[in-house]
Amino acid sequence: MAGTLAGSWSLVKASADVLKMDKELMIFPVFSGVTSVLVTASFFAPLAVTGGWEIFAEEGGSYLAYVLGFLFYLVQYTVIFFFNSALVGAALIRMEGGDPTVGDGLRIAMSRLPAILGYAALASTVGMVLRFLSERAGFVGRMVIGLVGMAWNLATFLVVPVLVTQNLGPVDAVKESATLFRRTWGEQVVGSFGMGWAFFLMGLAWTLVMGIPFILAVQTSPVAALSVVVVAVVGYVLLGIFSASLRGVYTAALYRYATKGDDGGFANVPLDRAFRPR
């Protein structure tokens, strides 16, 4: 476990080195986050105003609720996959020796928009089907469905770079992503798991750092306490942006390693440690 965590920190630092050359790429998670909030508001604000929440409270679930849920997932996934594609596409340009811009990333994502829409529809369908089955299954059934969902997430981990670099439809992109996963990772996604722990520890450290000022501020005045809360929230947002950006760079590097066998800009970190072939 200690070796895994050490390797994870190395991957975080190496990813940061690549991102350091193109700090403007961190704007893509910002675009994604802001747009996702707007999408959520556009779907749920009318329901809150009109009392439409009742369709989600019906026993057994309303079919209209499933339709609205599917549409929400479709739009939300499209936004997320679009900006992820822009980030990964720009990162791949850097790893191939280029100097990407925000415009380059957006251009790449726009050129693959039909495929992104198709994959968003596929992912939304899978998500809604799994949710539908989970709500009607028992404890064991929900565990099995959870494992199916985990398998889907693993198989589609490299779908975005596949969509960006190959002229494939959504179904073929999923197949290619699954092939790359089986070829290089097997079941041991050491790098992804480790980076998750790394960001968890960063968030925990920030919570501890802000905890003492908050306790002192609460004893001083509500305004001081609110100020500390605002600073803490800003810190979490910045950490989230940093995390999403690093994950995009990391995904691009792993895809490049899986398809071309080079380090993709991670010259100081042996990427083969992040892959554990069967």
* pLDDT for residue 265 is more than 50: no
Supply φ then ψ for residue 62, to 5 degrees: -90, 140
For range 188-202, the mean pLDDT: 74
* pLDDT for residue 35 is more than 70: yes
Maximum Cα–Cα distance for the chain, whole Å? 60
CA distance 132 to 26: 35
122-134 residue pLDDT tens: 999 998 888 878 8
Residue indicated by tokens 């089907």: 129
Residues in contact with 177: Cβ distance below 8 Å, sequence separation at least 6, in sequence order = 155, 156, 157, 158, 159, 162
* pLDDT for residue 274 is more than 60: no
The residue among 33, 19, 150, 128 whose CA lies nearest residue 80 is 33
150-172 residue pLDDT tens: 888 888 889 999 999 998 999 99
Distinct helix (H) and strand (E) counts, the chain: 11, 0
Contact 109, 89 (CB under 8 A): yes
CA distances (Å), origin 233, targets 194, 199, 225? 24, 16, 12
60-86 residue pLDDT tens: 456 677 788 888 889 999 999 999 999
The residue among 30, 113, 124, 42 whose CA lies nearest residue 77 is 124
- pTM (predicted TM-score): 0.83
CA distances (Å), origin 104, targets 30, 79, 93, 94, 145? 17, 17, 9, 11, 39
In this structure, what DSSP letter does residue 25 have? Answer: G
Contact 160, 249 (CB under 8 A): no
Q: Categorize the per-residue pLDDT at 42 as very low, low, confident or very high, splitting at 50, 70 and 90.
A: confident
